[in-house]
Every structure is written in structure tokens, then in C-alpha cells.
Amino acid sequence: PSLFARTGWTIGVLFTLYSAVLTYFTGVILGEICTLHPRLHSYPLIAEEAFARLGTGGDPTVPRRELQGLIGKRFVQAIQFACFFLTGIAELIFFQQYLAQLFSKYDVCQRGWLLIAAGFALPFMMVPTFRESRWPAVVALVLLCGNQVVFFYEVFHVAPWNSCDVPPAWSHVTPLTVIHGVTGIGYAFGGHGLFPEQIREMAHPERWTTVMRWIYAIVTPLYLAMGLLGYYAYGRNAQANLNANYPNNIPNQASIIFQSFQEVYYILASGLVLVLQVELALGVSPYAVCSYDVRQKSANGLGEGEVELAETDHPDRRPERGLTSEGYSSGSNDSISAECSSESSSREGSGGGLADWISLRACGVPPVGFRLIFRTIFLGSQTFIASLMLGGNGDVLLAVQSLAGAVGYMMMTYVLPLLFGWVLLPRVSTWRCALYAVSFVVCTLLAIAGVIFDTQELVEASGGFGQGVSCEVKEDLSYEDGCIAALGRAALANASAVMAGAAGAVAAI
């Protein structure tokens, strides 16, 4: 709803539908690339291959342009890091607000709640890979369904368009607010930047298209229903933290509890794709505990799941299958072990080097110790930057989400998969080719404009460590009155003043 408040009715609905169609296709494209080229099991690896082949005309006899591919890989790694780093910050800010709403009677400042939120999230940041995160994801999905029920209940329970002194007021839309809004919608449809890493850990990656169909069949109607109904109910007062529009009642409290548990998973998912890249590049297996020898084999040979995969999986994947450093079968995670093994072999051949010092291997720190230190520092850096942004302000939340959408999600979801598919996959139909070409140009321009204007908005909304920083998260996060929560105290105060003035005029007559 807060994004529709920025785009208005028409643009919000049209861009949501356009995003659903385009990002469904780009998600399928990434799945097809990962299935056709199993060794390209991360977004940067796909980028490297696509940029290396760009300009060769698809001719296998033309040498790959290695430097061009490396530049493309580094570019994608940069925007992927910025995107998911900002996403983690946004989720920390959400988590902070939920805790402040739940425990509003406690005298804790917003930076205090931010530290508490980070403390809750830290143990979950130690989850090794996406495969192990599937159980928190299931819990988050169940709680998400409960949140949708609470949303519809709260909207119709208060019914601000009917029960309040003034009806909801719609936003005055400008080109600048539209840019902020559409890049925010890009954030909502984002996630493609970690699709290859998730496909890598699927037992049956060939079923990815089915996954995409289910996702979009559920998410697209839900986005439209919540966006339209929420904007109709709350108008321009629609908050990024939607619970701030609900009255402080039991369903809202239950929803905030659900959201708090969900945030733990969201913080994990956005950070996992980044910390895994660094750890794998340093040859640190996410499964290793004390030994760095990622090629260590179990005395019992292949695990049951691995035998099944070796017999049934794509032949190109079989050389990548192996066991983790501790001898456990990881099934579809074995490409992770292979990558670690490759890094380890290259270091042994060169006598070690900087990676040994960065990973603290040279200091005798075991893999589990390095992961604990590195992931704690990673989450701590997000917490520090979030504290500079002062997450208690809804405008900050919208600005962070829109900037993440512009920096990474627009490029990695709307733009780059089109380029990857054009280079690495067979040609598509003429109408899809035309859609992709137009979308590539339009979404690239939106991403550039979004980075410029969303950065400016974020700088203006952030308080830093200045004297004007308020201790409280936000004054109106927990109103008992449903109309004040839905429409804002200022709107109702103005309406009351107008009504009092009109009554006075009538009495004078």
C-alpha cells in the first residue's frame, strides 16, 4: 500500500502487472541457464560466462573474452552485494520497529532495539547454506499466511472509508514519487539475485519452472489485493510498516509477533548469499568444523542421497558431486564442496597466500571459528549502518527499500537476466524478444534514475548521529484508536478543526 501511495492507482496496478509478467520470464530464464549449464551455479558465475561470450555471436570457435567476463562478474558481485546488504538493513529496521511496538512500555531507545534485533538474528546467521534454511523458511511461510489474515481483518474491522470522521486522502503523485514507487515495487518482485544459488541446492533443479508458476500464481494476486485494498483504506498515510496502520489490538500484536519471527529468516536469507560467496572464495566450506580439507572423504563412502543423485542427476553435474569436509553427504550442496576443493587446490599449488590470512587459516583458527567471526562482523556492519539511518522513520524504510530495488533488484531481476538469456540460451519468439528489448532499455533507465533519486531521499531521511535524533522509534506506532492509526493524527486533527470552525460559523449565523 505504501508503494501505491507513491505511484497512484493506475501506475501502481500497471507496473505491478508488468513486473509480474517480466520477472516471471526472467526467473524462468535463470532456471533454464542453470539447468543447461550446471557449472554456472551462482549469479556472478552466470554473469562472467555471459559477458565472456558477449560479442562472439554464439560461435563456439571464437575464443571467450576472459577479461570482459571478469569485469562483468565483478560488476554483478558489486550490485549483488549492495542490493542484499541494503535488504538486510531494511529487514533489521523492520525487526527493530516490531520489537519496539511489542514492548512499548519498556524505556529503550531505537538504537537499543536495533542491537536487540541484531542479537536475536545472530544465531540464525550461522545456518550453513540455503538447504538448511528451508525449515525456517517453512515456518516463515506459515506465519506469512497468518499475517495476510490479520491484514484483511484489520482493514475491514476499522473500515476507515466508512467509520472515520474523514475518508482516506489519496496522494499527490509526481514523477519523483513515481520513480520511488516503481523501484520499491522492484524490491517487492526482487530475489532473482539469489535464484541461481537456491537452484544449486535443489535436489531437482529441473523443476524450477514449476516453482516459478506456483510463486507467481500466489504472489501476484496477493500483491494486487493488498496494494489496492490497503491504499483504499489508508490513503497517503499507508506505512511501509503496515502494522503501524492497525490499532493496537490483539490481532495486531499477534501479527507483529509473526513478523518478528519472519524477520529472522529474511535477515538470514539476504545475508547468506553474500557470506557464502566470500567463504567459498576463501576455500572455507560452510560445513567444515575443525578441518580445512574439504576433499576429505567419509570412511563409509557415498551417502545414500549422494548415490541417488549420482545415478539420476544431469551428467554434467556428476563431476561436481562430493562430500563435505566433515564427511557428510550434502546431496545437492556438493557443488559447494567442489568449489571449496578447487579453491583449496589452487592455494596449495601456489603455497597459500593472502586468502590464508583473510580466512585466519594462517593463525590456526578453524573454519567454524572463522565463520562465527566473519558472519558476526557482517551482521554488525549492517547494524551499524542501520543505526546511522535511524530505522524508526517510515520514510527511511521506504527509502532503503527503494534504493535496494534500484541498485540491485531492478538490474538483477528486470535487466541482466534478459542479457544472460540472449547470450546463453536459444532464441525466443519475436514478441518475447520485442518485450525483452523494450524492457531492457526502460528498466535500465528506471534503475539509473532510482539510484540517483533514492540515494538523495535516503540521505535526507537519515538522521545519523546528529542532535535531532529522537529516542523513540516513532510517535504513532501503537494507537488504540483505529482511525488515528489508519489515517494519522494530523489528518483527523485537521478534520476536527474544520468541523469546529464550521460549527462555530453556523452558531454565529
Instruction: Report the length, in residues, of the chain.
Output: 509
Q: What is the pLDDT of residue 190?
A: 85
Q: How many CB atoms lie within 10 A of CB 209?
A: 13
How far is residue 283's CA from residue 279's CA, in Å, rounded to a whole number?
Answer: 6
Q: Are 141 and 209 in contact (CB under 8 A)?
A: no
Asked whether the beta carbons of 306 and 289 are under 8 A apart, the reply is: no
Supply the pLDDT for residue 463.
Answer: 61
In angstroms, rounded to a whole number, what is the distance separating the alpha carbons of residues 236 and 166? 13
> What is the DSSP code (8-state) at residue 407?
I
The residues of the chain scoring below 50 in pLDDT are 294-333, 348-351, 391-393, 467, 475-476, 498
pLDDT at 397: 73
Radius of gyration of the CA atoms of the chain, in A: 25
Q: DSSP letter string over 56-93?
A: TTT-TTSPP-HHHHHHHHHHHHHHHHHHHHHHHHHHHH
Put simply, whether the predicted model's pTM sits higher than 0.85 gets the answer: no
Instruction: Check residue 263 and give its pLDDT.
Output: 92
Residue 61 buriedness (CB in 10 A; 0-12 / 13-18 / 19+): exposed
Cβ neighbours around 293 below 10 Å, total: 13
Asked if residue 347 lies in contact with residue 355, where contact means CB atoms within 8 angstroms, the answer is yes
Q: How far apart are CA 152 and CA 147, in angstroms?
A: 9
Confidence at residue 101, expressed as pLDDT on a 0 to 100 scale: 84
Q: What is the DSSP string of 322-355?
A: ---TTS---GGGHHHHHHHHHHHHHHHHTT--HH
Nine-digit cell at 38? 550446471
CA–CA separation, 400 and 457 (whole Å):
9
CA distance 80 to 355: 22
Note whether 297 and 327 are within 8 A (CB).
Answer: yes
pLDDT of residue 334: 54
Per-residue 3-state assignment (H helix, E strand, C coil) for 170-213: CCCCCHHHHHHHHHHHHHHCCCHHHHHHHHHCCCCHHHHHHHHH
CA within 13 Å, CB half, 140: 15
Taking the C-alpha atoms of residue 307 and residue 302, their distance in angstroms, rounded to an integer, is: 6
pLDDT at position 427 is 81
Q: Under the phi-then-psi rule, with left for phi > 0, alpha for psi from -120 to 50, and beta for the rest, what region is 57?
A: left
